[in-house]
Copies of this chain bind each other. A is one copy, B any other.
Amino acid sequence: MAKQTIPKAAALRLSLYLREVESLLEAGQTKVSSGQLAESLGLTAAQVRKDLARFGPLGRAGIGYLCPALAEQFRRILGTDQLRPVALVGAGNLGRALATYPGFERRGFKITALLDNDLRKVGRQYGGLIVQDIAKLHFVCQRDRIRLAILAVPGSAAQDVADLLVRAGIQGLLNFSPVRLDVPAAVVVSTVALSLELEQLGLAVRLRNK
C-alpha cells in the first residue's frame, strides 16, 4: 500500500479524482494528464501530481496516467472496491430520501438496514427497505458486520441513537442532526449540517459582493 498518512485535504480530493476519472472512463477516455485533471477540478497541475504521486507511482512520464489504474487504486484506498453495508437510522423525510438515494450504491455503499423507533413506521417499505424496530439495531449490525451508519433523526434523539450505534459496534457515523455528538474517541463522526451549508453559502455571496 502507498503512504500510511494522507493529509486531510488530499483525502478530500481523492474522492474528487475518483469521480472525475470514472466520468472520463464512461466517456471512453483511457488516459489523462495532470493538467487535464487540474483543469476539470479547478486545481493546479502540480497539486494533482503531488497527490497522485502520494497515492503510488501511477503515472508515466511523457504519457500521463491510465484511467483504469487510477480508478482501481483510488477505490482501493477509499475501501470502496467492494460494496460496504451501511445502517440508516431514522425513517422520517430525510431518512426516506437517503434510503432511496441512488448515489450511494454507485459509490460502493449499500444501505442494508433502515430503522426507526416509531412503531407506526416499522414494517413500511421505502426504496426496497423495510423499516425495522430500532431495538434490532445491535442484532442487525452484528449479523451484517455493519461498520458505518447514517443518523437521520431529530436532534432531540440524536445522542441516544448515537449511544445505541456505538454499543452496536459502529465505527463511523454520518450525522445529519444539528448537534454535536459525544462518542468514544475510537468512533469517527462526520456531521452534515444543512443549515450551516446555507449559512456559509450566504456568507460567501455577501463577501463576493464587497
* Residues of chain A whose beta carbon lies under 8 Å from any beta carbon of chain B: 4-6, 11-12, 14-16, 19, 40-41, 77-80, 84, 86, 92-94, 96-98, 100-101, 103-104, 106-109, 147-148, 150, 171-174, 178, 180, 186, 188, 190, 192-210
Contact = CB atoms under 8 A, between A and B. Distances in A.
Contacts of A97: 92-94, 96-97
Contacts of A208: 171, 186, 188
Given A107-B199, A178-B19, A199-B80, A205 B101 contact: no
A132 to B, nearest CB: 20
30 contacts: A4-B207, A11-B200, A14-B203, A40-B180, A78-B199, A78-B202, A79-B202, A84-B202, A93-B96, A93-B97, A93-B101, A96-B97, A97-B97, A101-B194, A101-B195, A103-B195, A104-B195, A104-B198, A107-B196, A109-B198, A148-B202, A148-B205, A172-B205, A173-B201, A174-B198, A174-B201, A186-B208, A188-B205, A190-B200, A192-B194
A79 to B, nearest CB: 5
Given A77-B203, A80-B202, A147-B205, A4 B194 contact: no
A204 B192 contact: no
B204 A190 contact: yes
Nearest to A207: B6
Nearest to A209: B171
Contacts of A196: 15-16, 19, 107
* The 7 A-B residue pairs with the shortest CB-CB distance in the complex, in nearest-first order: A93-B97, A107-B195, A172-B205, A97-B97, A94-B97, A103-B195, A172-B201
